[in-house]
Structure 1
Amino acid sequence: MAKSLLVISRQAPWSGLGAREALDLVLAGGAFDLPISLLFLDDGVFQLLPEQKPEALQQKDVTANLAALPLFGVEQLYAARTDLVQRGLGESQLALESVRILEDGALADLINRHDQVMTF
């Protein structure tokens, strides 16, 4: 049986390669039917906003990768409510409706449920 993997994405889509690398890893894992989840923390919650304009910063858009997650069998998507609130973001603003919003206490439970955790 494959070990479960939680990928934690903490970087904004415009702050470097971390956001894209996290998504690439999740998509690859999904393509191989690995039990994989994706958690957006800190500035990583900015990845969930629609209509990003990354070309102004010479970055690539991650919106298409996010939209492809269900096609690769990646349906366990989470975001921290505290991080959304601290950045002035509401659930209705998120591009993906399938993201489950977690309270602080549920974050530790989510992490503990997975065999392996990688942070980007």
Structure 2
Amino acid sequence: MARSMLIISRQSPWAGPSAREALDIVLAGGAFELPLGLLFLDDGVFQLVGSQRAASVEQKDLTANLQALPLFGVDALFAARRSLAERNLDESSLALSVEVLDDAGLSALINRYDHVITI
């Protein structure tokens, strides 16, 4: 039986390779049908904003990869309500459908997975 894994992505898409690396782990796990989830926390919630203009900071746009997650069987996508609020991001403006969780929900989510990786 496969063990479940939660990937916590905490970096903005323009802060270096961490956001892409987290996404690569999730896509690889999805391709092997591992039960996994992806949580956007802290500056990681900026990955959910559309129209990234990644080329202006010499980064690759993650939007297409994020939208491909369901094709890889990755439907468990989450965002921290507090992280969104602290960055003045509105749930309705996100480019990806995610379940937005409060602090208690985040704690329950983390406890639900066998392994947790923070990137």
* Structure-2-length-normalised TM-score: 0.99
Structure 1 position 100 matched with structure 2 position 99: yes
Q: 1:111 — aligned with what?
A: 110
Post-superposition offset of 1:78 = 0.2
Q: Secondary structure at the match of 1:33?
A: coil
Which residue is 2:59 aligned to? 59
Deviations 1:85-117 (A, max 9, x none): 0000000110012x0000111111100100000
Moved over 2 A (4+): none
Structure 1 vs Structure 2: percent identity of aligned residues? 63
Q: Which runs of 5+ in 1 are unaligned?
A: none
The residue correspondences of 1:1-120 to structure 2 (distance < 5 A) are 1-97=1-97, 99-120=98-119
Shift of 1:18: 0.4
Cα shift readout 1:24-81 (whole Å, capped 9, x = no counterpart): 0000000000001000000000000011101111100000110000000000000000
Mapped partners of 1:21, 1:59: distance in 2: 13
**Distance in 2 of aligned mates of 1:25 and 1:114:** 16
Instruction: Return 5+ residue gaps in structure 2 as ranges.
Output: none
Task: Report deviation, 1:118.
Answer: 0.4
Length, aligned pairs only? 119
Q: CA-atom RMSD, angstroms?
A: 0.4
Q: Output the CA distance in 2 between the equivalents of 1:47 and 1:28.
A: 19
